Amino acid sequence: MQIVSLVPEGAPSSLYRAFIPMQALALEGHRVHIEERNAVGDPGPLLGSDVVQIFRLTHAPMRRLVRQLQAAGVAVVWDNDFDAASAPQGHPVSDAFRGVAAQQWRAGELAMLKLADLVTVPTDELAERYHAAGAREVRVVENMLPPTFERPRTLPERGLTIGWACMQEHSWDFERLGLREVFARVLEQHLHVRLLAIGLDMGISSRRYEFHQWQPYQDLPGLMARCDLLIAPLADVPFNRTRSNIKLKEYAAAGVPWLASPVGDYAWMGEEQGGRLVADGDWRGQIEALVRDEGARHRLAVAGRRWAAGEVVLNHVGELEEVFGEAVGLARA
């Protein structure tokens, strides 16, 4: 197939929704091309494609492009990975979609759901919401690991490091779950424990706290491998229930046991995937249990790496081919 992927400029999630799957399809012999832009002026170069994937873009010029592509017999797959309309008040995503911007986004989203030959999402929850909103066909395409995401060889560090790799928007979850107090107490009670934050500054005053701005993707395995325990907290709100579980796949592939909230696609996971689920009020207890139990950390790390080996995108190329092939069939029908 000849596949073109259109992604917005500066959208970190496009790594999982476009770049990683497209590279895997290219390795299987498909002709793929990714355009990172917010608008397309001349549709001509796209009209010879079999299918065009559009990630998240919904504005009126993009909807006109969809109609032009479909008139030329090109299949259109619209992809999205979050439900912006469900972000709670005060959440960074909600703040970005306020007033007229929120109305325009929702109108464009609903239009795309009905225009596209096929809609793809990373979770069953988001698929159900889009079905209810009027999408003709929705398929779940999970976020997968690239083959290069592997634990590097690292020298052991002194003490024990707890880490969290997350985007700035998770500040809302951090505050709602009261994690600043949790980590302050853990550092106070366990003098050999250090805390490593990647992407979100927790604002903790301690010589054993270290903060890094969000790093290039290729550097994340090395930073994660410095940790003995990684966390993935989420507040239980409708927005978070559509979240992908890619973070836990990355933690497991890095060979680090994890603790996560039982929310969204985390809710079915557990020790076979390399970690444990944590109720909202039990973060300190669960962290301290694994801080004290080196054997449990080792068993979880081994199980996680075993599971994550099957979550590499190259093991799922057939599923991608099936989805894009289905879109082509629907367009031609």
So what's the pLDDT on residue 168? 85
Q: What string of H, E and C letters represents the secondary structure of 158-204?
A: CCEEEEEECCHHHHHHHHHCCHHHHHHHHHHHCCCEEEEEECCCCCC
Q: What is the pLDDT of residues 256-273, one digit of tens each?
A: 999 999 999 999 999 999
The fold for domain 2-146+313-332 equals: Rossmann fold (3.40.50)
* pLDDT > 90? residue 103: no
Task: Give the type of residue at 88.
Answer: P
Per-residue pLDDT band for 107 (boundaries 50, 70, 90) equals very high
Signed CA dihedral, 84, 237, 286, 81: sign only: negative
So what's the pLDDT on residue 89? 85
So what's the pLDDT on residue 42? 87
So what's the pLDDT on residue 189? 94
Please state the rounded mean pLDDT for residues 24-33: 97
Q: What is the pLDDT of residues 160-211, one digit of tens each?
A: 999 999 988 899 999 999 999 999 999 999 999 999 999 999 999 999 999 9
pTM for the model stands at: 0.95
Average pLDDT score over the chain: 94
Q: What is the pLDDT of residues 8-22, one digit of tens each?
A: 998 999 999 999 999
Task: Give the type of residue at 120.
Answer: T
Per-residue pLDDT band for 280 (boundaries 50, 70, 90) equals very high
Q: Which residue, among 3, 5, 112, has the nearest Cα to 48 in the 3D structure?
A: 3
φ, ψ (nearest 5 deg) of residue 32: -125, 155
- Listed in order, the ranges of the chain carrying CATH 3.40.50.2000 are 2-146+313-332, 160-311
CATH architecture of 160-311: 3-Layer(aba) Sandwich (3.40)
Highest average pLDDT, of 31-40, 152-161, 284-293, comes from 284-293
